[in-house]
Amino acid sequence: MDPNLHPLFRPIQMNGTDTNSYYYERMPSVSLMAHIACYWESGSIPYMGEQEQESISVPARVLPDGCTDMLITYDAVRSVHSYAYCGNYSHPFVVPETSGISASADYTFGVRFFPGGAYVFHGLPLEGFTDMRIPLEDCWPVRLNELQERIAGTKSFEERVRVMNDYLSPLSVQTNTYENDLMKNALHRIFIDGGRMSVSELAMREVVSERQLHRKFAEWIGISPKRFSEVVRFHRVLGSIHQGHAADGVALALNHGFFDQAHLIRQFRKFYGETPMTAAKEHQQRLSDLYNNLVAPSDILRS
């Protein structure tokens, strides 16, 4: 793909306000930015003595974003790591709240692949992973034992970031240059137009058949170009809400190409689970702290 696509699509995730947990994000090394959106980690904060507990007012939400993830989960009680790969989620869901304070430091470390990025590493059609979480060994091609050994020796998020940068940098499968350029150009058009371009127009501009476009999106992204465009438009709306533009629902709908406010609300519920007004109340509480910040493209490429 192309790291210059990243500033055009910055999907938002809602991390909630659970005071018993933490969430971190870091950008990958420059050599991996064409394929990886960010590294992230969420985990429980071990109980360290008497402390006042605040009520949890905003749930963490996992929102469809066109990305896929490698997940490394650590069970502190058993002192073991488990490895998984998650495809696209087609529907949002709320992450269960933690049940009080914890005596152990469990965590999940993730590699969030930019749309189309994971295909470059495992070479398997992503449509087979949609709404699925499978053991990583079922789809990852090489050197998994090496990764497991190195992760087992890490003590911090920053160490895991360094291990993953070193591990992923030399890995890639051979991809067709034409297909890579086709997907890069198609994603660029979708991002620039905010997800409003029809599939027929997208195919016409790329000089391919709609059938071929569907096939390539199934392989590289995991969902249809129409569905992916809907996801992109949803995140554009959520971005507008993040910037404080939710008061006028009619203007919000028209600015993002919806027929009317009712159309916007129906589409928004499909990917958020609640109305735009609920999202407006929740967005100030806890967004992901790095990848959701609006920064200039030059700043992203220098990270």
Quickly tell me which residue has 């060994």 as its tokens.
137
Angle at 37 between CA 284 and CA 253, to 5 degrees: 50
Q: What was the pLDDT predicted at 285?
A: 55
Domain count, the chain: 1
**Quick one: the chain helix, strand, coil %, rounded to 5?**
40, 15, 45
Q: What was the pLDDT predicted at 3?
A: 86
Please, what is the average pLDDT of the chain? Answer: 84
pLDDT in tens, 87-117: 998 899 887 765 555 556 789 999 999 999 9
pLDDT in tens, 198-245: 999 999 999 999 999 999 999 999 999 999 999 999 999 998 988 877
Confidence (pTM): 0.85
Q: Under 8 Å CB-to-CB from 281, ≥6 apart: which residues?
A: none
Angstrom distance (rounded) from CA 105 to CA 156: 11
Cβ atoms of 6 and 293 closer than 8 Å: no
pLDDT average, residue stretch 247-259: 87
Q: What was the pLDDT predicted at 5?
A: 92
Cβ atoms of 237 and 255 closer than 8 Å: no
Q: What was the pLDDT predicted at 303?
A: 29
Virtual CA dihedral for 151, 161, 271, 14, nearest 10 degrees?
A: 110
Q: Pairing between strand 36-44 and 21-26?
A: antiparallel
Cβ atoms of 8 and 191 closer than 8 Å: yes
Strands (E), the chain: 21-26, 36-44, 61-62, 68-75, 80-86, 93-94, 107-113, 133-135
Angstrom distance (rounded) from CA 154 to CA 76: 13
Owning domain of residue 113: 1-303
Residue 293 has pLDDT above 60, yes or no: no
Angstrom distance (rounded) from CA 145 to CA 163: 13
Which two structure tokens, joined as six digits, stand for 97? 């709240």
Angstrom distance (rounded) from CA 11 to CA 33: 15
pLDDT in tens, 121-143: 888 999 999 999 999 999 887 78
- Measured CA to CA in angstroms, residue 289 lies from 16, 251, 270 at distances of 12, 28, 24
